[in-house]
């Protein structure tokens, strides 16, 4: 069961939050023995609904999914000019509203950097972090950032580096790229099968407009607002070795710069099928949050 609620922030924005805790989203404080909260940081474009295909694995590991629509998606207010680092304050606000003290974070794709932001900027609250299939920052030293992207995604990110107007103009003129340019055959099969849930949340995100995706894309190519080497908590960097959406070199760069990071390459996995290994990531998290 997933409970939902709108959380109203001091700056006037609203964040739409989700919680799989059995006794509902309005509960006050976690009690001893309660499932540990794991904040799900969704990809781009998605809404924040927690990952239904991983509910059983989370329950088996004594974990509870908590999440929210990032600004501009779903029921959350836009936040023009937000950075990746902005996620930390939003997550802290959701945690406060739900009475959650310490927690873990897990992000996939565009959500990965946001999970890392929480690990870097909320060290007193984040116990451990998992980043799956995430890009490195555009200013990553020593990384040929654009190498390995599909032509369409590379062009989109180059346009985003020029700001909102440049990205909007690019989107207005760009021809759609065939999905085979950034998904493997196995990825495409998973989107129509075991991970059809993910295709559904992408559809919902885009049906509600492009503001969230636009803000995400702009934030991804601006300075993140924190340095990965500032992360002191345990981090698992998981990436498919055959990922065509985000090049594997980005995972290597992130893992080399997060002091307590472990890099897990998933052989033969792409951007979607890497999530078949997410239960292992949840077991890794459970071992650390209960240490």
At residue 28, the pLDDT reads 34
CA angle in degrees (0–180, nearest 5) for 231-232-234: 100
Percent of the chain with pLDDT over 70: 96
Over range 235-249, report the average pLDDT: 98
Q: Are 205 and 46 in contact (CB under 8 A)?
A: yes
Residue 220 has pLDDT above 60, yes or no: yes
Say yes or no to pLDDT of 145 above 60.
yes
Residue 207 binned pLDDT confidence (cut-offs 50, 70, 90):
confident
Question: Above 90 in pLDDT, residue 53?
Answer: yes
pLDDT at 22 over 90: no
Torsion angle defined by CA atoms of residues 4, 131, 147 and 209, in that order, rounded to the nearest 10 degrees: 0
Would you state the pLDDT for residue 131?
98
3-class secondary-structure state, position 127: strand
Residue 33 has pLDDT above 90, yes or no: no
As a whole number, the mean pLDDT across the chain is 94
Instruction: Find the mean pLDDT for residues 193-210.
Output: 92
What average pLDDT does range 204-208 have in this prediction? Answer: 87
Over range 64-79, report the average pLDDT: 97
pLDDT tens readout for residues 82-101:
999 999 999 999 999 999 99
Distance from C-alpha of 93 to C-alpha of 212, rounded to nearest angstrom: 19
**SS3 assignment, position 89:** helix
Lowest mean per-residue pLDDT among 33-42, 106-115, 276-285: 33-42
Q: What band does 31 get if pLDDT is binned at 50, 70 and 90? A: very low
135/13 Cα distance (integer angstroms): 27
Give the mean model confidence (pLDDT) for residues 41-49: 97
For 266, the token pair is: 């998933």
Beta pairing class for 36-41 and 63-68 = parallel
């Amino acid at each position: 069961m997933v409970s939902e609620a709108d959380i109203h922030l001091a700056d006037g924005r609203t964040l739409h939050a989700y919680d799989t805790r059995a006794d509902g989203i309005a509960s006050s404080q976690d009690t001893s023995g309660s499932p540990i909260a794991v904040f799900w940081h969704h990809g781009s474009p998605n809404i924040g609904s927690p990952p239904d295909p991983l509910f059983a694995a989370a329950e088996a590991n004594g974990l509870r999914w908590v999440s929210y629509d990032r600004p501009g998606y779903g029921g959350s207010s836009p936040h023009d000019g937000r950075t990746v680092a902005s996620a930390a304050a939003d997550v802290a606000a959701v945690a406060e509203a739900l009475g959650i003290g310490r927690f873990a974070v897990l992000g996939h794709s565009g959500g990965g950097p946001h999970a890392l932001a929480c690990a870097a900027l909320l060290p007193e609250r984040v116990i451990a972090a998992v980043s799956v299939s995430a890009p490195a920052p555009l200013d990553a030293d020593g990384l040929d950032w654009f190498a390995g992207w599909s032509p369409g995604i590379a062009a989109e990110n180059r346009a985003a580096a020029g700001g909102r107007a440049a990205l909007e103009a690019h989107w207005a003129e760009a021809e759609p790229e065939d999905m085979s340019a950034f998904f493997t055959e196995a990825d495409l099969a998973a989107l129509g099968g075991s991970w059809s849930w993910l295709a559904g949340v992408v559809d919902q995100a885009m049906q509600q407009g492009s503001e969230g995706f636009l803000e995400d894309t702009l934030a991804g190519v601006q300075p993140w607002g924190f340095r990965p080497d500032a992360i002191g908590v345990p981090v698992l960097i998981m990436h498919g070795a055959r990922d065509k959406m985000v090049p594997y070199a980005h995972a290597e760069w992130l893992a080399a710069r997060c002091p307590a990071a472990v890099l897990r390459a998933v052989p033969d996995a792409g951007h979607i099928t890497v999530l078949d290994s997410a239960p292992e990531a949840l077991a890794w998290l459970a071992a650390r949050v209960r240490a």
